[in-house]
């Protein structure tokens, strides 16, 4: 990580708050959770104090021991329109391999997702009427440049950028350069 680049690790306060919340919800002591996860109590205590350097393996073990998805421990609260630029986002590195996972969005319980690969060219914007109530759209630009989002809240995106917004309100997609492609995930809750 350079001084002028985005952080390469998850903010520890997100992890600490999530661990405390989920441990409390599960009614487990520090000792019991550490034992179930197969980690040292001191490691868990450090993580809940927002210190230490958690790996994918440690957080995965804690998620399993708590009975929650990995994402429940690392996903920050999301605003109504969420943008994650290429190279940004909560990233966790593995201790065992050259592997780094950046969480863009976790599927809530009971959700259904449809995934589309979309190609769009400059010209008229694709105006979309609201989808069924509870729909959320997740979009990752593959190539080109795109303006997308709810009416009045569109954002400009480039390759690798991510945006999430309500799909149950009027929204639009507009290619800003030829050959624009993106992956669209429609989540129906």
Per-residue pLDDT tens for 15-39?
898 899 899 989 999 999 999 999 9
What per-residue string of b and e applies to 45-76 under the rule 16 or more CB within 10 Å gives b? ebbbeeebebebebbbbbbebbebbbbbbbbb
pLDDT tens readout for residues 82-100: 788 877 877 777 676 565 6
Question: Is pLDDT above 80 for 138?
Answer: yes
Say how far apart CA 178 and CA 70 lie, in whole Å: 38
pTM of full prediction above 0.85? no
Among 175, 188, 103, which Cα is nearest to 142's? 175
Query: Is the pLDDT confidence value at 1 over 60?
Result: no
Q: Which of 88, 119, 81 has its CA nearest to residue 104?
A: 88
Pairing type for strands 162-166 and 135-143 reads antiparallel
How far apart are the C-alpha atoms of 46 and 43, rounded to whole Å? 5
**Spatial contact of 66 and 33, defined as CB atoms under 8 Å apart:** yes
Is-contact 170 129, C-beta < 8 A? yes
Return the sign of the alpha-carbon dihedral for residues 16, 19, 25, 26. Answer: negative
Give 109 or 178, the one with higher predicted confidence: 178
């Amino acid at each position: 990580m350079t001084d002028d680049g985005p952080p390469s690790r998850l903010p520890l306060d997100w992890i600490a708050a999530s661990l405390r919340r989920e441990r409390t919800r599960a009614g487990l002591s520090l000792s019991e959770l550490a034992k179930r996860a197969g980690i040292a109590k001191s490691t868990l205590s450090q993580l809940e104090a927002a210190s230490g350097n958690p790996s994918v393996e440690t957080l995965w073990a804690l998620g399993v021991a708590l009975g929650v998805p990995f994402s429940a421990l690392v996903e920050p609260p999301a605003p109504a329109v969420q943008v994650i630029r290429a190279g940004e986002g909560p990233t966790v590195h593995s201790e065992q391999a050259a592997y780094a996972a950046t969480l863009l969005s976790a599927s809530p319980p009971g959700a259904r997702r449809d995934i589309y690969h979309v190609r769009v060219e400059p010209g008229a914007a694709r105006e979309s009427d609201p989808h069924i109530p509870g729909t959320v759209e997740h979009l990752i630009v593959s190539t080109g440049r795109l303006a997308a989002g709810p009416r009045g809240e569109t954002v400009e995106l480039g390759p690798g950028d991510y945006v999430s917004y309500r799909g149950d309100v009027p929204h639009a997609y507009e290619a800003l350069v030829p050959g624009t492609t993106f992956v669209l995930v429609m989540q129906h809750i």
